[in-house]
Amino acid sequence: MIAYGLRRAANIHLQGLSVGKQDRSRIKHHKPAVVWFTGLSGSGKSTIANLVETRLYAHGVHTILLDGDNIRHGLNKDLGFTELDRVENIRRIGEVAKLMTEAGLMVLCSFISPFRAERAMVRDLVGKDEFIEIFVDTPLAECIARDPKGLYKKAMAGEIEISPVSLRVTSRRRRPRSSSPETLRPPSRRRRRSSRCSPRAA
């Protein structure tokens, strides 16, 4: 987590509300939840999340899909791809997802979210019973072949660097020592045993 040196107000209190999550959920006829898709760039997170939302919508489920790229065009357009920015990116999304579950929605989130601690933070925030984590376990070679955003091509050309541990993308002024796919090796992958399993990350 990031410890900001900000002056926070100490005289704020939670306001009690007459209508709560259960009330909002009742009129929608389904329980709220956060379905969190994580995986490499190009793994198919957004595609799968979009298909899932389409199916849920067809069944009358009230949904919202939060996509990493879309969010960075608005709410998080002031953030970059440093480690600190990535943490703040997920923190904000976690808070938004929580608010939307309070509204009784089924919230689908598609983010690389490489840090296990931040995914755990969101789980704790919304509650473990309403958080479903899905690791889209696509081989790196397939992600490189797809490369829908051209990130892997830029990495191999030395324009950007994709960390082999956290897969964070940062600007790079000098060419990396190696531009082979080995420099883009993702964290060790584990087979998905349950909805909480996730890619190994720092």
pLDDT (tens digit, 9 = 90+) per residue, 6-36? 566 777 888 888 888 888 889 999 999 999 9
Q: Residue 53: its pLDDT value, please?
A: 97
- 34 is a domain residue: yes
Q: Residue 116: its pLDDT value, please?
A: 87
- 167 is a domain residue: no
Task: Tell me the pLDDT of the chain averaged across its residues.
Answer: 79
113 has catalytic annotation: yes
Task: State in Å, rounded, how far the first CA of the chain is from the last one.
Answer: 13
- 98 is a domain residue: yes
Q: Residue 101: its pLDDT value, please?
A: 96
User: Where residue 121 falls among pLDDT bands split at 50, 70, 90?
Assistant: very high
- 121 is a domain residue: yes
Alpha-carbon span 62 to 106, nearest angstrom: 6
- 104 is a domain residue: yes
User: Where residue 162 falls among pLDDT bands split at 50, 70, 90?
Assistant: low
- 90 is a domain residue: yes
Catalytic residue among 113, 166, 180, 188: 113
Block residue for tokens 């198919």: 44
- 105 is a domain residue: yes
CATH code of 63's domain: 3.40.50.300
Domain residue limits at 48: 21-137
Residue 93 has pLDDT above 80, yes or no: yes
Alpha-carbon span 135 to 45, nearest angstrom: 9
pLDDT (tens digit, 9 = 90+) per residue, 108-117? 999 998 888 9
Number of domains in the chain: 1
Burial-class residue 32 by CB neighbours within 10 Å (0-12, 13-18, 19+): buried
Residue 145 has pLDDT above 80, yes or no: yes
- 15 is a domain residue: no
Tokens found for residue 62: 């009230």
